[in-house]
Amino acid sequence: MNFKRIFPVVASLSLAVLMSQAVQARELKALGISMGSLGNPYFVTLADGATARAKALNPDVKVTSVSADYDLSKQFSQIDNFISSKVDLILLNAVDPSAMASAIKKARNAGIVVVAVDVDAKGVNATVQTDNVEAGKLACQFIVDKLAGKGNVIIQNGPQVTAVTDRVKGCKAALAGAPQIKVLSDDQDGKGSREGGLNVMQGYLTRFPQIDGLFAINDPQAIGSDLAARQLKRGGIVITSVDGAPDIENSLKSESLIQASSSQDPWAMAQTAVDIGNDLLNDKPPAEAVTLLAPKLITRDNVAAYNGWSSKR
């Protein structure tokens, strides 16, 4: 056998395989982003963070960022448009985590990587979100501690996406450790908005003569609730929430009833999601299907040292 003839052939084959693999590596050329509502600064920061990271990976990347406005049919159309324009990666904040499954499947069948952000969604390649159970637990443990484990508390609910249901789950776990805490209500939907929080809180204040604490599932609802309490001249209520938004920073530095918020980091979340999506394009799956980012409780005592969402990292 002539080994001198064989070795060059093997070497050439190995080089060909390596070159083939290099050709198959996919560059992120087009990114589609569908957010629940770009009227919410949280989702604006998510979109901005994703855009910044995508452009760092490829300065020529085309980024299309759209708002679903919590409209399921609108988000379906957005996914169809992303497929038609042949994006490589979709970052999806699903309006309905289960109902979007068929659109996600369609995108993936077209060779598009789909990464869920902020809330999980059925059938995605990966998910990046805050540990929302821990966020709810931190915010409601603050209420328990402030009330010394005794009083009337409300859980102001919201749209039934996983981020919200997980926050409520964490809150209830914290309240369960204080038997003398009475939950007056836990099923009213504040719509994730300031107006929704205000309207629901007005109803609470009319129904309940004594409210000692309130957990709102996000900052806009907390701000609306605080406004309702001030309009009806009701005080002595410890309000907490989740997000760590710029508006909540101002509330924590003022005389509002809002005393704490479990902060999220939408900028870091978006950047992590783009990195994971880019890796998936090149057959490098994440260690876990769901990547959880740890929240931190922002209070009046530490808000001065809080970097906030505007800190672009």
Q: 100 with 147, same domain? A: no
Please give the Cα distance from 207 to 204 (Å, whole number): 5
Alpha-carbon dihedral 220, 226, 232, 233, rounded to 10 degrees:
-160
Closest to 70 (Cα-Cα) out of 106, 113, 40: 40
Q: What is the DSSP letter of 294?
A: P
Residue 94 has which token pair? 């699903």
pLDDT of residue 281: 96
pLDDT of residue 301: 95
pLDDT tens figures, 155-188 = 999 988 888 999 999 999 999 999 999 999 999 9
Q: Which amino acid is at 41?
A: P
- Secondary structure class of 94 (helix, strand, coil): coil
Mean pLDDT of 203-214: 97
Q: 236 with 144, same domain? A: yes
pLDDT of residue 16: 42
Closest to 264 (Cα-Cα) out of 119, 152, 103: 119
pLDDT of residue 309: 80
Examine the pLDDT at 283 and tell me if it is beyond 90. Answer: yes
pLDDT tens figures, 96-154 = 989 999 999 999 999 999 999 998 999 999 999 999 999 999 999 999 999 999 999 99
Examine the pLDDT at 198 and tell me if it is beyond 60. Answer: yes
Examine the pLDDT at 230 and tell me if it is beyond 70. Answer: yes
CATH number at residue 183: 3.40.50.2300
Domain that holds residue 35: 30-124+266-293
Q: 207 with 120, same domain? A: no
Q: 109 with 56, same domain? A: yes
Q: What is the mean pLDDT of the chain?
A: 91
In a domain, 69, yes or no: yes
pLDDT tens figures, 256-280 = 999 999 999 999 999 999 999 999 9
pLDDT of residue 295: 96
Q: 176 with 243, same domain? A: yes
Q: 147 with 189, same domain? A: yes
Domains identified in the chain, total number: 2
Residue 5 CB contacts under 8 Å (≥ 6 apart), including other chains: none
Examine the pLDDT at 310 and tell me if it is beyond 80. Answer: no
Residue 144 has which token pair? 């328990």
Report the predicted TM-score, pTM, of the whole model to 2 decimal places.
0.79
Examine the pLDDT at 248 and tell me if it is beyond 80. Answer: yes
CB-based burial of residue 184 (10 Å sphere; 0-12 exposed, 13-18 middle, 19+ buried)? Answer: middle
DSSP secondary structure string for all residues of 6-36: HHHHHHHHHHHHHHHHHHHPPP--EEEEEES
Q: What is the DSSP letter of 303?
A: G
The dihedrals phi and psi of 238, each to the nearest 5 degrees, come to -90, 110
Examine the pLDDT at 33 and tell me if it is beyond 50. Answer: yes
In a domain, 150, yes or no: yes
pLDDT of residue 26: 83
pLDDT confidence tier of residue 311, bands split at 50, 70 and 90: low
pLDDT tens figures, 55-91 = 999 999 999 999 999 899 999 999 999 999 999 999 9
Q: 191 with 217, same domain? A: yes
Q: 136 with 257, same domain? A: yes
Domain stop point among 243, 263, 283: 263
- Secondary structure class of 56 (helix, strand, coil): helix
Residue 97 CB contacts under 8 Å (≥ 6 apart), including other chains: 116, 119, 120, 121, 122, 161, 162
- Spatial contact of 66 and 75, defined as CB atoms under 8 Å apart: no
Closest to 28 (Cα-Cα) out of 56, 48, 66, 54: 54
pLDDT confidence tier of residue 308, bands split at 50, 70 and 90: confident
Examine the pLDDT at 196 and tell me if it is beyond 70. Answer: yes
pLDDT of residue 18: 41
> pLDDT > 90: what percent of the chain?
81
The dihedrals phi and psi of 297, each to the nearest 5 degrees, come to -80, 120
